[in-house]
Structure 1
């Protein structure tokens, strides 16, 4: 299972839903970077992704995007192989 990292906030419904999707796929642990608790991390996230909205999800070091990108990746059958490292 690949390492999953997510920039998020505690109250963002899209962040919560993204975590639910990933957990349903067998992801036991998500390295969560809370930009609401450490606002400087939003700047780091923006520099890496070019985006300011959360969630921003990385699987195995590759930027997947936000919630909608995660759902689209799953819908086209790409999420499971990515999580498995294929």
Structure 2
């Protein structure tokens, strides 16, 4: 399975929703909290993405935020992206 990384903030409802969706699907993920972690925030922003959270990656593929993750799941594409044979 391609690894999942999610950048979050503790007070973010959409971050909580994204993590809940991943947990419902029994998917493990690496969470990086940017609150109070300047280095993590800078690392996220250097990836040339929005400065909003959550920001979700599957392998090196930038999914986007919660709405993007939910749309991938609804369309069935999320499971395909998680396939280790998937070309991202």
List 4+ stretches of structure 1 deviating above 3 A.
Answer: none
| Contact persistence 1:2–1:82 (CA under 8 A) | yes
Tell me which residue corresponds to 1:60.
59
Q: Structure 1 unaligned runs (5+)? A: none
Normalised TM-score (structure 1): 0.86
Where 2:71 maps in the other structure, the secondary structure is: helix
Normalised TM-score (structure 2): 0.85
Superposition pairs of residues 19-58 of structure 1, within 5 angstroms: 19-27=19-27, 29-58=28-57
Tell me which residue corresponds to 1:6.
6
Tell me which residue corresponds to 1:81.
80
CA 1:75 to 1:49, structure 2 compared with 1: closer, same or farther past 3 Å?
farther
| Number of aligned positions between the proteins | 85
Q: Structure 2 unaligned runs (5+)? A: none
